């Protein structure tokens, strides 16, 4: 008797009883190896030509190697693997992006029908890294199909994890070690002792490791990396597991990565982000989320300054830094010793009564004071002139920024500052974390030793500021975001990566236009609508900005240009031209950099010919010229 084999039965037969648990963590001593065995369906083995992987934590070339069955070891670097975008454009292996999708070509006959063993090896530390994680992998056949069914794999559930040592004595010992253990800088033979403790670079109670679900094995490996014993590492891991805090995150999911549905989740989940699944491969895939409800139509309503675009719900093709890249590589006390201990920068964090400040609404003032103290502390350590920058000094400055960012997250989580329904940080600490905020230069002394990586982190931390506090229609002068300066880093990054980001840029342009209160008019220079102090629609037709929009079809770019100009002009016309001027009214002393005057300053009517060449509606251009004539005539009258 013949038995008909249905497609469902074929899938069941192809699914292994023993699953491969993901992620595969390869952490610990140099040359630590983890191996997994998978079964390739009959007839598929000889078709396999490559191994596709998603790996978190590849910090440098040669950090990891792969071996399939009895093949040679393949060292992973940008020459031996193909890195997919967006990671490829930002430097690939050794760049700024923490999780990469890689394809390793395999010689014919490397993979066989039936069982195949893949070996993943951590080759050695650079004094910073202690391993990596394989989040996903599959064999790829020559026609592009994957050889292993999805049911081969099983995602590990952190909620099933238990403390390695469950008794209260060991958990208490772990807590003491977290706060007091003497550490060394790394696992290198000549590593120096450091003054900082675990709680100094992480959150003071360790909740970050629990929140982002760092595994027991990774905590033990990192403890040993810093000179502790296996037992001490297990005690620390047991303490972390015992913490009564929410744990929605994962180490590889970038904090606050935007994506649909994020606001519908509890506020406690916001910091976990929408996950790597919502880091888009293609920039233009963001556009339907900007023009939601109208796509593929593009309407001026999407750009309306009085509307409120929600960037938290808009996925982007730009991975934000993972938690490991929030953590400082050197604590300020190990960089500056007693100078840091005695500084207001340190004292304000240690001595502040946060609960009282939260209860009395004074927490924003604390962050303002703390940020000012950081500038006061760091400035004397740089000395005059940019020639003072070295790799070491740049890392110390950047780590001081990161330390403040981590401690800001700590305060935010511990005192429930994200649970007030606003989903807004009451500070500008994210933007102040950019290397550019302390004038760290692009180049060999910048982060990652390259201009590209330095600019990736500049853009990343400014993007985080946009997500956490973009003003919400309540800007004060050029705070919380200096939009014109912020947009410059889009262009700087594009010039280095050669990757246009029109959609992410449009989100920023829209939020810049939506930064003022709809109820406050242009008479209020600091808080009202002032077209000459914001980004204006010329960004769509300016020659210097053309590469940013080069990936858009001409018709789409024309529609965006026209809609943006319409929304901008309609907002200007809400107010009589004379309301922009009065005797004694003085503009701010802020001078736009020369290279940004083509996208800011408000004299948009002077670009009417360029808008016409871009296909903008003639009647709209006539309206623009008429408004510009009125505005400029009054400007002459008031000598504005």
Per residue in 429-455, pLDDT (tens digit) is: 999 999 999 999 999 999 999 999 999
The CA distance from 553 to 555, in Å, is 6
Backbone angles phi, psi at 43, to 5 degrees: 90, -10
Q: Which long-range contacts (CB under 8 A, 24 or more apart) does 493-499 make?
A: 493/452, 493/455, 493/456, 493/458, 493/459, 494/547, 494/548, 495/547, 496/451, 496/452, 496/455, 497/89, 497/90, 497/452, 497/455, 497/456, 498/89, 499/85, 499/86, 499/89, 499/90, 499/283
pLDDT tens string 202-221: 999 999 999 999 999 999 99
In the DSSP assignment, the letter for residue 436 is G
Quick check: 193 pLDDT over 90? yes
Quick check: 157 pLDDT over 90? yes
Question: What Å distances lie between residue 591 and 82, 283, 490, 560, CA to CA?
Answer: 44, 32, 20, 28
Question: What Å distances lie between residue 203 and 182, 236, 305, 341, 596, CA to CA?
Answer: 17, 14, 38, 18, 39
The CA distance from 86 to 92, in Å, is 9
Quick check: 7 pLDDT over 70? no
In sequence order, which residues have a C-beta less than 8 Å from that of residue 377 and are 6 or more positions away? 339, 340, 343, 344, 345, 400
Q: What is the pTM of this model?
A: 0.95
As a whole number, mean pLDDT of residues 148-166 equals: 96
The CA distance from 315 to 258, in Å, is 5
Task: Give Cα 352 distance to the centre of its chain.
Answer: 29
Sheet (strand 24-27) strand order: 24-27, 131-141, 48-56, 99-105, 81-83
- What's the token pair of residue 137? 């992998």
Quick check: 23 pLDDT over 60? yes
pLDDT tens string 32-84: 999 999 999 999 999 999 999 999 999 999 999 999 999 999 999 999 999 99
Residue from 129, 128, 146, 127 nearest 138 by CA: 146
In the DSSP assignment, the letter for residue 209 is H
Beta carbons of 74 and 80 less than 8 angstroms apart:
yes
The CA distance from 301 to 563, in Å, is 8
| Other beta carbons within 10 Å of 117 | 12
As a whole number, mean pLDDT of residues 232-246 equals: 98
The CA distance from 256 to 337, in Å, is 33
The CA distance from 527 to 591, in Å, is 18
Locate the domains of the chain by residue range. 8-156, 159-242, 323-638
User: If you count DSSP H runs as helices and E runs as strands, how many of each does the chain have, helices first?
Assistant: 20, 13
Residue from 436, 548, 544 nearest 497 by CA: 548
Q: What is the pLDDT of residue 294?
A: 80
Quick check: 361 pLDDT over 70? yes
pLDDT tens string 76-132: 999 999 999 999 999 999 999 999 999 999 999 999 999 999 999 999 999 999 999
Share of the chain above pLDDT 90, in %: 83
Strand partners, 114: 40
Summarize the chain as % helix, strand, coil (round to 5).
45, 10, 45
Please check whether the domain covering 8-156 is classified as CATH 2.60.120. yes
pLDDT tens string 162-178: 999 999 999 999 999 99
Among 127-131, 151-155, 581-585, the least confident range = 581-585
Beta carbons of 476 and 587 less than 8 angstroms apart:
no
- What's the token pair of residue 383? 């000395």
Beta carbons of 299 and 563 less than 8 angstroms apart:
yes
């Amino acid at each position: 008797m013949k038995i008909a084999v249905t497609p469902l039965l074929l899938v069941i037969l192809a699914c292994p009883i023993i699953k491969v648990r993901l992620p595969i963590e390869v952490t610990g001593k140099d040359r630590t190896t983890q191996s997994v065995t998978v079964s390739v369906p009959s007839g598929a083995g000889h078709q396999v030509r490559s191994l596709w992987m998603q790996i978190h934590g590849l910090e440098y070339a040669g950090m990891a190697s792969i071996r399939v069955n009895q093949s040679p070891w393949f060292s992973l670097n940008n020459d031996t693997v193909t890195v997919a975008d967006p990671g490829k454009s930002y430097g690939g292996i050794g760049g700024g992006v923490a999780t990469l999708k890689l394809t390793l070509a395999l010689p014919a006959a490397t993979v066989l029908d039936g069982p195949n063993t893949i070996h993943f090896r951590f080759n050695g530390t650079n004094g910073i890294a202690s391993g990596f994680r394989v989040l996903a992998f599959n064999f790829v056949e020559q026609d592009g199909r994957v050889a292993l069914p999805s049911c081969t794999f099983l995602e590990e559930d952190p909620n099933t994890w238990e403390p390695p040592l469950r008794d209260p004595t060991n958990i208490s010992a772990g807590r003491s070690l977290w706060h007091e253990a003497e550490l060394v800088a790394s696992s290198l033979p000549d590593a120096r002792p450091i003054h900082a403790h675990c709680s100094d670079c992480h959150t003071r109670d360790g909740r970050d490791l629990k929140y982002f679900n760092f595994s027991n094995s990774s905590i033990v490996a990192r403890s040993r990396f810093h000179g502790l014993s296996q037992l001490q590492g297990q005690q620390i891991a047991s303490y972390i597991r015992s913490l009564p805090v929410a744990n929605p995150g994962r180490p590889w999911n970038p904090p606050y990565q935007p994506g649909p549905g994020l606001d519908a989740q509890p506020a406690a989940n916001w910091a976990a982000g929408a996950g790597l699944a919502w880091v888009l491969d293609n920039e233009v895939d963001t556009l339907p989320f900007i023009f939601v409800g109208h796509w593929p139509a593009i309407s001026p309503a999407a750009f309306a300054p009085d509307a409120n675009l929600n960037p938290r719900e808009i996925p982007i093709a730009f991975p934000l830094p993972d938690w490991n890249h929030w953590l400082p590589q050197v604590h300020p006390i190990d960089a500056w010793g007693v100078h840091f201990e005695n500084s207001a920068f340190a004292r304000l964090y240690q001595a502040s009564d946060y609960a009282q400040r939260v209860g009395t609404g004074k927490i924003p003032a604390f962050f303002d004071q703390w940020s000012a103290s950081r500038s006061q502390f760091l400035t004397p350590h740089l000395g005059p002139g940019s020639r003072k920058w070295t790799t070491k000094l740049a890392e110390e400055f950047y780590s001081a920024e990161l330390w403040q960012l981590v401690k800001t997250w700590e305060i935010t989580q511990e005192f429930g500052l994200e649970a007030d329904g606003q989903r807004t940080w009451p500070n500008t600490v994210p933007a102040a974390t950019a290397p550019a905020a302390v004038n760290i230069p692009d180049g060999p002394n910048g982060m990652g030793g390259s201009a590209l990586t330095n600019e990736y982190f500049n853009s990343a931390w400014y993007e985080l500021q946009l997500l956490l506090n973009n003003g919400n229609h309540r800007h004060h002068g050029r705070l919380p975001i200096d939009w014109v300066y912020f947009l410059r880093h889009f262009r700087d990054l594009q010039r280095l990566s050669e990757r246009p980001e029109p959609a992410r840029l449009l989100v920023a342009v829209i939020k810049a236009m939506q930064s003022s209160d709809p109820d406050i008019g242009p008479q209020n220079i600091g808080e009202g609508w002032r077209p000459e102090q914001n980004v204006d629609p010329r960004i769509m037709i300016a020659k210097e900005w053309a590469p940013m929009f080069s990936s858009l079809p001409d018709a789409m770019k024309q529609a965006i240009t026209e809609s943006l100009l319409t929304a901008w002009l309609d907002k200007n016309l809400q107010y009589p031209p004379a309301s922009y001027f009065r005797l004694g009214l003085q503009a701010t002393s802020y001078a736009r950099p020369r290279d940004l005057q083509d996208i800011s300053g408000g004299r948009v009517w002077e670009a009417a010919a360029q808008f016409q060449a871009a296909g903008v509606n003639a009647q709209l251009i006539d309206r623009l010229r008429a408004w510009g004539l009125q505005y400029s005539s009054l400007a002459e009258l008031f000598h504005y």
